[in-house]
Structure 1
Amino acid sequence: MKNNWKEVQPKSIFQVAVSFPLSDQEQDILALLYQPIIGANAFSLYMTLLSEVAHTGVSESLFHADLITMMDKSIKEIQQARLKLEGIGLLDTFVKSDAELGTIFLYRLNHPETIERFFKDEVLTLTLLNSVGQRKLDKLFERLKPKFIQLTGYEEISANFKDVYLFREEQIVAQNDQLQQIEAAFNDARPRKKLSAVDESFDWAYFVQGIERLGIKLPNDHEGFKEEVYIFHNLFGITEIDMIDFCSKSFDYYSGEIDVKDFERGIYRTYDPDKQQRKSEVLRSERAKLSDADQQTYRYNSLKMNGFSEMDIQMIMDSEKNYPLNYLEALKSGKGGYTTPQERSLVKYLVSKSGLPNSVINILINYVYNIQKQPTLKAEYVNRIANEWAQSGITSPEKAIEHVREIAQKSKNQTQNKSRYSQNGRPIRQETLPDWVENPVEEQKLSKEEQAKLDKEIQDFLSKGGDR
């Protein structure tokens, strides 16, 4: 992520741009579907920036000090809000340098997705679910889903356009240049952004060549299918060759295109949590070409030299050998538990959206399950930790372990400082700790009706081989 906030000062100048005004429905979508995900501050920032855009589509030049005053927020709070808008695709930020004015920022506001595209986007829907919970998601979906009227028994008698309006076809030729100019003005040359789960460890070009040799075509939604392939690769460690094999068993014989639903079903059946799942290869050092056994020894010695205990080293090496769903399954089955459909969806979301390496996700799972003694992974709590780790640049399992211990020590110091403060009455500076340190989400008991509904969903899930 390019971080230009180091250059932002209250005196830094910015402008806001938007392609065309937001409709009333788009503002409803922002409030109902996006605000629960991005939070009140990010929603307020979007609306504040929008209010500054003139009819020309571009605002006047403003200082960030103006934004601080209008929102009554610190520059750090505005920064966090801006990142949330950028991450979900509602804002693009651009900078340029000026010899006299310094760095100038341009904030381009993007329109929210339509209701249809929002709910058809797996990542957006799952993010909303993790933000509001299943009950609220069901209510939002029920409110916003299309209401198609049953027309059985009716006969349509509507008038045609040409029966009512005078229209001369020759005008299309006469006014062709003007019509094309008008049409072109509404064409956005920017490619549509999509939340990405791209992983360079998967050779996409090799995979495509493999299915083409079999005479199989990619589905129409190339990018959407590509995201699915990357997510499954990250979740289960499926190789390019095995992925080609899945495609060879799930394509339409008439069109030759991959049947995405059948493709997903095949993977879920093969990697059902009740069955043996394959593990990833041992991570290899880029500095030495070693055998698997020597690579393990090299990794062990490196960790030992850096002061990690035997228990730490075992945890780190286990986190690197296993894919997240395998790892969670092993932890829970070791204590006689089982993985819920909600947990599987959450882990899939972490792999596709958090940006954390699989090994770090595994340490996070271990922390929540074994250290915090949580019987299940709860979306709100896990996402709070994942966000903080991502923003702290946690890129390896050893960094994750060190980070947890460092924060635990700070928490212990704060407790001691509070004790001293109560004794001598002098204030002591305290560092702010992430809210997940001592505040895990409490397990909420379900009503009988909710429990019955959840039990039915689990049975449906299992009967379909995990196809959701």
Structure 2
Amino acid sequence: MHYFSGLRPADSFIVHTNYVQSPLSEDVLKRLYIPLIGLESIAVYQYLSQFINGRQVSEPETHYLILNELKMNLSHFEQLRERLEAIGLLKTFLKTGEAQCFVYKLISPVMPAQFFNDPMLSVFLFQVVGKERFHQLKKHFCTDTIDLTDYRDVSKNYMDVFGTPKEPDAGIFKGNETIIKTNDSLGIPVHQQTFDFDLLEMLLNQNLITREQLPKATRDLITQLSVLYDIAPTEMRRIILRSLSADQTISHEELRKNARDFYQLEHEGNLPALTEARQPDEVEDKTQLSWFEMMDTTSPVAMLASTSKSEPTARQKRMIESIVEREKLPFGVINILLQYVMFTHDMQLPQSYIEEIASNWKKLKFESSRQAYDHVKKLQKQQAERQSEQKPRRTRPSYEKTPAWVSQMKEGSAPVAVETDQALEAEKRKLEEELKNFWKEDER
């Protein structure tokens, strides 16, 4: 069996949506959702929406595209994606196997009327932007109305103008299930399983409140309020009893008000704020990642630019693209390959040599920079052992008389040979030290 092993650059993704974007939905994202989850998360949402291109299902792409175009590592992308999922703008589906495939389903943002009546979204926005800005945003989405009290409706209906419609053909509605349609957003995804309705119903039965008095809309609201204000079933029972109207139905407006009053009474008048389980200072940014994680999540082109302190040439970029397309090696493996070749070839990148190594490493099925690095260090160790095992050849002594001028030349050249050997040894030690620092052995 295959299991999810973390998001990898080679993993494919498909974008799906359940609605058609409009200027109003874009305005809601900018004004109401950015204060809640930040500009970066909304930018990821809008970036994914480009793959729809007028359809509801996109063509498959790989996460290499996100690394290259968004200039962020996949751990940061996942953090932003989780914010979208938590706020109700995205659902993620995963299929595992030899290759992992994700489906990112874009959910419609909550429209203004529902947003400002949503107990969670409205409270969180109020806490983030403050009272003055909250009412300013609310006013922006209000429409002008006309008092029609002194008017009467004189509009004609269909039957008055067009008469009785004819019997439609039986196949006229065939295939309608595939037509583009819009679905209302449910807001922040809070499931009823998070609240103990069995206990609540048992408590309410003591007050003759039946299950029929808790329809789905009321249950959804109770679940939201319980999560928002951290209300247990025992306290929710008292809040519901105070929210009953004269006809023994539960008033949603009173239920929201009483739940808010309960929380403020327990928290000295404050309202809950939207906070992440992981605080920003606890989230690792790219500079805090380990070296191997950086190698795995950094584009080879960006790595080359950082290493050489200059923009890679067009030939180098084409070479990297051809290796990625032909060999399908992960970024981390390609980065180790390029760094190893540069260090051993005086910062040069001979294409044929690189392509030969890339082909061999593909056969070895390297999937991470750590595997490629360990392989290189193993080769270097084997090479060093072979060199140490080689013993100098013993030359047979010459019994011929050596001319004096040859002896004099040898005696004169001896210091030069010694000096050359010392220089080579010093250079070797220097290269070994650079290699040690370059591969960052001390940091591990």
TM-score by structure 2 length?
0.53
Change (3 A) 1:50 1:178: same
Change (3 A) 1:79 1:244: closer
Contact in 1 for aligned 2:16/2:58 (Cα 8 Å): yes
Q: Equivalent residue of 2:95, what SS?
A: strand
Inter-partner Cα distance in structure 2 for 1:232 and 1:62: 37
Match of 2:24 in 1: 25
Change (3 A) 1:95 1:39: same
Q: Computing the radius of gyration over CA atoms, which structure comes out larger, 1 or 2?
A: 2
Is the aligned partner of 1:105 residue 2:102? Answer: yes
* TM-aligned CA deviation for residue 85 of structure 1: 0.9
Mapping for residues 344-383 of structure 1, pairs under 5 Å = 345-346=271-272, 349=273, 383=275
Match of 2:94 in 1: 95
Q: Equivalent residue of 1:93, what SS?
A: strand
Match of 1:259 in 2: 251
Unaligned stretches of 5+ residues in structure 1: 274-324, 329-338, 351-382, 393-428, 430-468
* TM-aligned CA deviation for residue 190 of structure 1: 11
* TM-aligned CA deviation for residue 26 of structure 1: 1.4
CA RMSD after TM alignment: 3.8
Match of 1:230 in 2: 226
Is the aligned partner of 1:127 residue 2:156? Answer: no
Mapping for residues 58-457 of structure 1, pairs under 5 Å = 58-99=57-98, 102-164=99-161, 166=162, 168-171=164-167, 174-175=168-169, 178-179=172-173, 182=176, 192=186, 194-196=188-190, 203-212=196-205, 214-216=208-210, 217-218=213-214, 221-227=217-223, 230-231=226-227, 234-235=230-231, 240=234, 243-244=236-237, 247-248=240-241, 250-254=243-247, 256-263=248-255, 273=265, 325=266, 339=268, 341=269, 343=270, 345-346=271-272, 349=273, 383=275, 387-388=278-279
* TM-aligned CA deviation for residue 390 of structure 1: 12
Inter-partner Cα distance in structure 2 for 1:266 and 1:126: 14
Inter-partner Cα distance in structure 1 for 2:151 and 2:184: 44
* TM-aligned CA deviation for residue 37 of structure 1: 1.7
Q: Equivalent residue of 1:221, what SS?
A: helix
What amino acid is aligned across from residue 8 of structure 1 in structure 2? L
What amino acid is aligned across from residue 258 of structure 1 in structure 2? I
Q: Equivalent residue of 2:250, what SS?
A: coil
Q: Equivalent residue of 2:156, what SS?
A: coil
Inter-partner Cα distance in structure 2 for 1:137 and 1:270: 22
Inter-partner Cα distance in structure 2 for 1:76 and 1:195: 23
Inter-partner Cα distance in structure 1 for 2:131 and 2:260: 22
Q: Which has the higher contact order (CA 8 A, sep 6+)?
A: 2
Contact in 2 for aligned 1:12/1:103 (Cα 8 Å): yes
Change (3 A) 1:261 1:19: closer
Change (3 A) 1:53 1:161: same
Inter-partner Cα distance in structure 2 for 1:162 and 1:23: 33
| Percentage of pairs with the same residue | 22
Moved more, 147-156 or 37-46: 147-156
* TM-aligned CA deviation for residue 29 of structure 1: 1.4
What amino acid is aligned across from residue 115 of structure 2 in structure 1? F
Aligned residue pairs total 279
* TM-aligned CA deviation for residue 231 of structure 1: 4.7
Q: Equivalent residue of 2:38, what SS?
A: helix
